[in-house]
Homo-oligomer: A and B are copies of this chain.
């Protein structure tokens, strides 16, 4: 994008309008649209800012993307746009790598402490005005296996290590010298290492390889005392297998921020399981997150207009931004 024409930017948004767009509106023709207007708004657009980052509406509107050069998604996970036509196209895809790392790391530590200190039970006893002393658990010295070695997984590893946990990772390639994890196990040998973990944290990108990786076999390999934390994507998990594993006592608990169907349906059995902590896909969304998402986009927009290399370019075959880029 170096020609002199005013660029056309389509912004796909839902109920929330992105903040801080004024400087971009000053230099581009900005078309805001919802899902219904997406194909009309894509026609003739040079760039698409997918602020409605979990929508799956793009594939059916893609036929209208007749001059699109660049697609930026306001998320770390790009799985909602990993459809074949985009993968095969020349459209450059960038994501919001970095925005959520430390917030999600804090969230994961909070969920681990909630389990160890029996906080949900304290709250439920409080609602009954009941004083009941229990013994709790230390987190120092327990072990966490972080499945996913991207920037969010790394931030989680650093945070848990700082809090005294023993941390290892699981990623594509086994290694013993990772700066954040120390040891990284190969994901294809995951079940060999699940029995060692007190906490298993899922933060892998959702790809054809990772979809459903947490299934009955994986849960059966975990300790009966293990807790499973999912801050990645619901589809990493075979949800029926997770429910069955919790019911059978194959694992002791689960903290789930993401689900294969969101919002989680009101009649889903997970809602009422005592040992499950449910939150509504918010682990990374701290006050100011929307401004930060737009700031990441705006910096890439500036680079795009100036003809500079974009940040956070996704490898469309892998389905994520490769390490080091």
Contacts and interface: CB of A to CB of B under 8 A. Distances in A.
A241 interface: no
A24 interface: no
Interface in A257-290: 262-264, 266, 271-272, 276-282, 285-287, 289
A138 interface: yes
A173 interface: no
A132 B280 contact: yes
A246 to B, nearest CB: 14
Contacts of A124: 123
A136 B286 contact: yes
Interface in A278-312: 278-282, 285-287, 289
A116 B113 CA distance: 13
A106 B140 contact: yes
Given A110-B119, A117-B110, A286 B126 contact: no
Nearest to A126: B278
A62 interface: no
B106 A113 contact: yes
A246 B120 CA distance: 22
**Most chain B CB inside 10 Å of its own CB: which residue of A110, A134, A140:** A110
A269 B173 CA distance: 56
A61 to B, nearest CB: 25
A226 B247 CA distance: 40
A213 to B, nearest CB: 25
A119 B287 CA distance: 15
B289 A135 contact: yes
Given A109-B113, A122-B279, A126-B276, 16 more contacts: A103-B136, A106-B116, A106-B138, A113-B114, A114-B119, A120-B123, A122-B278, A123-B277, A125-B280, A126-B278, A132-B280, A135-B282, A135-B289, A136-B287, A137-B287, A162-B163
30 contacts: A102-B138, A102-B164, A103-B138, A106-B113, A106-B116, A106-B163, A109-B109, A109-B113, A113-B114, A120-B123, A122-B279, A122-B280, A123-B123, A125-B280, A126-B271, A126-B276, A129-B266, A131-B262, A132-B280, A133-B281, A133-B285, A134-B282, A135-B285, A135-B287, A135-B289, A136-B285, A136-B287, A138-B286, A162-B162, A162-B163
